[in-house]
Amino acid sequence: MTLVLEDNLEITGHDLRLAWPLADLAAGDTASPFMRIAPVGSAARVEFTDEALAAALQDRCPDLHRTDPSASGGRLRLVLWSIAAGISVIGLAIYGVPAIAVRLAPVIPAAIEARLGGAVDGQIGKILGDPPVCDDAPARAVLDRLIERMTTDAGLPVGPAITVRRHAIANALTLPGGRVVVLSDLIDQSRTPDEFAGVLAHEFGHVAAHDPMRALLAASGSSFLLSLVLGDLTGSTIVIAVGQAAISAGYSREAENAADAYSVEVMRRSGGDATALATILERIAKDDEKGEFAGLLRSHPFTAERTTRIRTMAGTETIGRRILDETEWATLKGICRNVPAKSAT
């Protein structure tokens, strides 16, 4: 190949003849004596080590070492695409992941959901200070019979696994895989077995609708995407989000209303007082200033409209029913009798 510098940079060789205008030439970033020349915007390149030719080109082409606009444009496009990608990820985290979770949760295999539920259960235990399990045998037998009575023909995707833990906060937490963690103060603070059963049936409603799985997917998915954008890939954000998703599920109003309706139907079918859920929610709102029901109120937000709807759905024919007799209720309330009290963390 032969290079001749005249009015143009002429390049000739076997079946090759090019003439590049000097005004169009730009030099690549190389180390002397090596030099790379190309017309701006062209994919063609010529490389040489002739120092005399290099000096002559620099004399004849004042803009030889200018920035290649195509390269600048490429960097600009890269920056713009990066910004757009970041905005897209954030938008997906805020809007897309919850929508995806709604559709994905019901089709996740039961075995996978069960494993996720077990992992979340362990995290919840740590967050709550590892409260001990209450397993007094006679009380557990009463609870198991109650659960069987309430869940027969209930349309649940899995059989619920109920664990009672000794804790000074009145609450019930529903986890993926049909797990429900009952904190013992909920039983202590319930004045009738139907109040406790009404809350438990409400949790079964969340199981039936796959709400815990949706909340977990939305919380952990958003946290992962946002962590990716922010460069925090340690996983700590995801762990916090998963734990908080279970403790303060933040279900939509529609999800809460559907779980309330499910509770009313279960209580009516099981022979209990279908209005009892409204009763305990009303007392929660009244006693909240004392802090007795803070945990339950956070995860089961109270509204007068909500309790009115529950009472309307329940009607009056079930008022006065008891889902357990007094002996059974007294036995169930002693489920933690063999477990030392542990303060809330």
pLDDT digits over 94-112, tens only? 444 455 545 655 667 777 7
Question: Which stretch, 91-105, 277-291, 309-323, has highest mean pLDDT?
Answer: 309-323
Residue tagged 């059974």 (tokens): 328
Digit-coded pLDDT (tens) for 119-152: 778 878 888 889 999 999 999 999 999 999 999 9
Q: Which H helix or E strand runs over 114?
A: helix 110-127
Contacts of 337 (CB under 8 A, 6+ apart): 136, 139
Digit-coded pLDDT (tens) for 56-94: 888 888 777 765 444 445 455 555 555 555 544 444 444
Confidence of residue 6 (pLDDT cuts 50, 70, 90): confident
pLDDT value, residue 58: 82
The residue with greater pLDDT, 339 or 285, is 339
Average pLDDT, the chain: 78
Confidence of residue 210 (pLDDT cuts 50, 70, 90): confident
DSSP state of 191: S
Q: Which two tokens stand for residue 191?
A: 């004045």
Peptide bond into 21 cis (omega under 30): no
pLDDT value, residue 87: 46
Digit-coded pLDDT (tens) for 13-50: 777 788 888 888 888 776 667 788 888 777 677 887 88
pLDDT value, residue 193: 98
C-alpha to C-alpha distances, 118 to 76, 178, 192, 224, 228, nearest whole angstrom: 47, 10, 31, 20, 26
pLDDT value, residue 31: 66
Report, as an integer, the average pLDDT of 291-316. Answer: 72
Residue tagged 């319930």 (tokens): 190
Rounded to whole angstroms, how far apart are CA atoms 155 and 205? Answer: 10
Digit-coded pLDDT (tens) for 257-277: 999 999 999 999 999 999 999
pLDDT value, residue 342: 57
Q: What are the residue boundaries of the structural domains of the chain, listed by start?
A: 2-66, 87-333
Is the pLDDT at 239 greater than 50? The verdict is no
The residue with greater pLDDT, 51 or 79, is 51
Report, as an integer, the average pLDDT of 203-214. Answer: 88
- Cα R_g (the chain), whole angstroms: 34
Confidence of residue 297 (pLDDT cuts 50, 70, 90): very low
pLDDT value, residue 230: 47
